[in-house]
Amino acid sequence: MTYDLVIGDRAYSSWSLRGWLLFDAFGIPVTTRSARLYTDELATVLKDYFPARTAPTMRTPEGSVVPETIAIAEELATRHPRAGIWPHDPHARATARVLAAEMHAGFTALRSHCPMNLRVSYTYCQPPEAVLADLRRLETLWAWARQTTGSTTPWLCGAYSAADAFYVPVATRIATYNLPVGAQAMLYVNAHLCHPSFRRWRAMGLVDGADQDFYRRDYPRRDWPGPVRLPAKAVEGTDTVNQTCPYSGKPVTHALELYDRRFGFCNAFCRDKTVADAEAWPKFMALYQS
């Protein structure tokens, strides 16, 4: 048995992103069950995860149901003490927990005015003063964490930890809505946009169902400010350099083309997430480079 994790739409569910990163970024296997937001799907799925009411919700291999990202982080850290979910150093660990707690309960103006949307980026969103105040608080916290822990990495408390996973969704908001922050904060945002686990989540989010109207905004758009994706495109047919999917090992049914070479996958989702960001997927890149 393995862990199960209930998630919402990958493009929009910021809490689901946090929960999933607590597995993928720390090398803990998990099986996901997704439910579309603003439908009856989530409530239906969660009937099997009592007493949970929200995504993400984890079920342990033994059957314990654990809603809420802080609870998930603590339970995984206890079960996997060498995974690095919290820093090993006591001072850095205490700092990381302070950061996660404030993120869990705060920044409501930013989260309300700028809901997470990983499918677009805007040139400007007219942030009100309450949002600007949240941004100033973020910059204060991030600078304090790096200074007090002496971090020399791109991350807040040394090595990537749960504290960083908790702040990914606000980092993506800064990228999506082109919010005004200083140079050091922008370096931290860019580190998140380049993180392999985040790139995989966003790639799936780009092809994970239709757009949600609730998140639509009429601001002028710009290109996504993260890494530029390789020019892969979906194509018809199964005449590919590989006969089995690089992810599942199942027979090829769908294909993409990249620099005049064709590669096969076992379903449309495997192909489309690779088209969205081929470099995010080590198994595909190993095939591509072979």
Q: Is the dihedral of CA 107, 110, 113, 116 positive or negative?
A: negative
Give CA–CA dist 71/68, Å, rounded. 6
The CATH number of domain 3-79, selected from 3.40.47.10, 1.10.3210.10, 3.40.50.300, 3.40.30.10: 3.40.30.10
- For 15-53, the pLDDT digits (tens) are 999 999 999 999 999 999 999 999 999 999 999 999 999
> Which residue, 39, 75, 40, is CA-closest to 57?
75
Whether residue 199 has pLDDT greater than 80: yes
Which amino acid does the sequence have at 41? Answer: E
- Domain 90-201 listed as CATH 1.20.1050: yes
Mean pLDDT of 231-259: 97
SS (H, E, C) 42-106: HHHHHHHCCCCCCCCEEECCCCCEEECHHHHHHHHHHHCCCCCCCCCCHHHHHHHHHHHHHHHHC
HSE, side-chain direction, 13 A CA sphere, residue 236: 0
Domain boundaries, the chain: 3-79, 90-201, 233-288
For the chain, give the mean pLDDT: 97
- For 120-148, the pLDDT digits (tens) are 999 999 999 999 999 999 999 999 999 99
pTM attached to this predicted model: 0.97
- Enter the tokens of residue 285: 């890149």
Dihedral angle, C-alpha 213, 194, 182, 172, nearest 10 °: 20
Q: How confident is the model at residue 1, as a pLDDT? A: 67
